[in-house]
Amino acid sequence: MTASQSVDLVTLGQRLRHLRRTKGMTLEQLSAAVGRAPSQLSVIENGKREPKLSVLQALASALGVQVADLLRPEAPSRRAGLEIELAHLQKAPAYQGLGLPSVRAGRRLPADALEALIGLHRELGRVLTEQSATPEVARRANAQLRVNMRERDNYFAEIEQAAAKVLRSVRHATGPLSQRGILDIAAQLGFTLHYVSDLPGSTRSVTDLRNRRIYLPQVASNKGHDPRAVVLQTLGHFVLGHADPSDYGDFLRQRVEANYFAAALLMPETFAVEFLREAKADRALAIDDFRDAFGVSYETAAHRFTNLATHHFGIPVHFTRVHESGIVYKAYENDGVLFPADVTGAIEGQPVCRKWASREIFQAEDRYSSFYQFTDTSAGTYWCTVHIESTRSGEFSVTVGTPFEHARWFRGGDTTRRTVSRCPDPTCCRRPPADLVSRWSGSAWPSARVHSHLLAALPPGTFPGVDAQDVYEFLDRRA
């Protein structure tokens, strides 16, 4: 057995040096006690040589400790811990590639200089990681976030409680939240709202923390977003105690929580659950009615339904937002439906089966009317209700689905529309029919439209995609 199999060599060296000095022994005295040359022990203390077990036993005996004391993974002191970290950082490929000399963190190196060097190394690592982040980072982060949401049935009790506390603070007693109520909430939290025409293009809002001002786009320039939701999402970051996101996964988590908070204010839990309970009793659950009752977008109502359906009514659900091209932009499930996924487990960017309701609706004779469908899949039969929303990026289908046995609670649960999906079997819809192949194989040459975001690194910055200079110049103008 060797030391490198059980402990980091740099840490071992630091522990050896610390124990030797604690015993008041010089390197020469320890070398004499174990019958090894001082130079041999020096390279061990510097973490550059792997000692044999017999040498470790001799060193431990000479120092009056157990071998396990030499092999413990923690640094013997804070200073030693910093020296170990610096040694590892200087061996990293990122630093080695710079061709700069290594700094020996001996006793003569002042503590503040040591900490400054480590700080620079950490920042170098952060910047390089940020620059090299690819869409795979986002996909993995999204996949993990979806796992966390599924484990909680997409219900966040602590955010519901935070939203309820805010509503009580402004004495909101019943029904949907009005614009007046939103202004009261902002004032209660110490912010004023300012609608401007020159908000930086990479932002939906900018908050001046120094002067407690929230700048928002004028309604006319805010196409595609409920202006009330944008305000409440911004306030949500402060109510929920969000700090600057540490990485892309943290950024996504904060965005989900802020969106949840906004929906919990626009569609308060108490009133929303009461509304849904009455609809369920009538076997007439409908996202359209839920939307209209609270004056929100269909997508917001669909999301909010997924927050409450399983926790309060035991109805498992899935949700998708699918582009007219058939690509998934958003998805969530806790009902066992099998979404298309890549090797990382990510769903976003994957094509949905052509037989699913979220794509069938685009072929419907009247695509803007209520659309319901049963789909037989390898995971079971699912009922779905779908609605199309038009945006500047094209049309999207927003789908809420549930297993067959729960369809009875919904309006449209008696639909006769039914399809069969065999995906991921390529003969379902991925492979063209044989007659089309025979007519056109070898005679078609499409020019693919490659979206640049498929190849690009993730947007840099603490808040991905936001140009900090634009934000600071904007605040300067408004100061």
The kind and range of the H/E element at 121 are helix 111-132
Predicted confidence band of residue 7 (pLDDT cuts 50, 70, 90): low
Residue 105 tokens, joined? 């963190």
Average pLDDT, the chain: 86
Residue 346 tokens, joined? 């990510």
The 10 Å CB-count burial string (b at 16+, else e) for 285-303 is bbbeebbebbbbbbbbbbb
Share of the chain above pLDDT 90, in %: 39
Q: What angle do CA 44, 47, 48 make, to 5 degrees?
A: 80
What letter represents residue 228's amino acid?
R
Predicted confidence band of residue 254 (pLDDT cuts 50, 70, 90): very high
Q: Quick one: pLDDT at residue 4? A: 41
Q: What backbone phi and psi angles, to 5 degrees, belong to 50?
A: -95, 110
Least confident of 137-141, 270-274, 359-363, 391-395: 137-141
Cis previous bond, 424, omega within 30: yes
Q: Is the pLDDT of residue 43 over 70?
A: yes
Output DSSP code: residue 354. Answer: T
The angle, 0 to 180 degrees and rounded to 10, between the axes of the packed helices 135-151 and 248-266 is 50
Query: Which pTM was predicted?
Result: 0.68
Mean predicted confidence (pLDDT) in 89-105: 79
Mean predicted confidence (pLDDT) in 144-162: 94
- CA distance linking residue 415 with residue 395, whole number of Å: 24
Q: Quick one: pLDDT at residue 222? A: 43
Report all structural domains of the chain as residue ranges with CATH numbers, in order of start: 3-78 (1.10.260.40), 156-266+464-479 (1.10.10.2910)
Instruction: State the residue for tokens 């001046």.
Output: 208
Predicted confidence band of residue 96 (pLDDT cuts 50, 70, 90): confident
Q: Quick one: pLDDT at residue 5? A: 47
- CA distance linking residue 471 with residue 467, whole number of Å: 7
Predicted confidence band of residue 315 (pLDDT cuts 50, 70, 90): very high
Mean predicted confidence (pLDDT) in 330-342: 91
Least confident of 58-72, 213-227, 398-412: 213-227
Per-residue pLDDT of 137-148, as tens digits, reads 777 788 888 999
Q: Facing residues of 208 across strands?
A: 213
Share of the chain above pLDDT 70, in %: 91
- CA distance linking residue 235 with residue 189, whole number of Å: 8
Mean predicted confidence (pLDDT) in 297-310: 96
Per-residue pLDDT of 433-460, as tens digits, reads 888 888 888 877 776 554 544 444 445 5
